[in-house]
Structure formats: structure tokens, C-alpha cells
Amino acid sequence: MTKGKQPSEFDHDSLQDSESIGQYLDALAKGFDAGQLLFCAGKTEMLLRPQGLLKFTVNAKRKDGQVKLSLDVSWKERKRPRAEEKLVIRTNGEASP
């Protein structure tokens, strides 16, 4: 992936068969497990790093012979990762680990 400013949007539309869609869904599952998703089409690339709790929405519709399935996943990005601070609890001059 080239260095530089990340695009704020990535869009891709195409016609695919069911097997290809399944392969894309498998790739998404592996990306969520790994904590990063890289989308590429032509010269456009976008890297996402899912973190924390993610909102997951599924919508399915059927109308006049048309069927639509929408999957939506969203999360908030942290600007800077917070350094984890060690918790210390003191009682009578003694500290916890």
C-alpha cells in the first residue's frame, strides 16, 4: 500500500456469482479476526482497523421480485491509542501489583 493520506471513502459495485460473494465474505471474516481490512480497486486503497465494540446491522428486503440484503458494520476510530495505565490500589502503605 502506498504511503500518504488515506481516502475517506471506498466504493465498488460489480456483478458477482454466489460463490464469489461467499469468498468476499470469508475475506471480510478473516480481516475482522486479524483486526484489519484492506480494500483495493484500481489505484484506490483503503485500510480499516476495526477496534472495540462494533455495531452490526442486517437488513433483508423482498419487493416485486427484487431481493436486497444489506450488512452494515460500524465503529468509532480512536485518534491516538491510549497507553494503558497500570492500576495501583494502596491499603495501609502496601500496594497491589
- pTM, full prediction: 0.72
Q: Beta-strand (E) ranges in the chain?
A: 37-41, 44-48, 55-63, 66-74, 90-91, 94-95
Total domains in the chain come to 1
Tens-digit pLDDT profile for residues 61-74 = 999 999 999 999 99
Is residue 87 a part of any domain in this protein? no
Of 7, 70, 77, the C-alpha closest to 35 is 77
Is residue 52 a part of any domain in this protein? yes
Is residue 86 a part of any domain in this protein? no
Where the chain has pLDDT below 50, the residues are: 1-2
Helix (H, G, I), strand (E, B) or coil at 25: helix
Classify strands 90-91 and 94-95 as parallel, antiparallel or unpaired: antiparallel
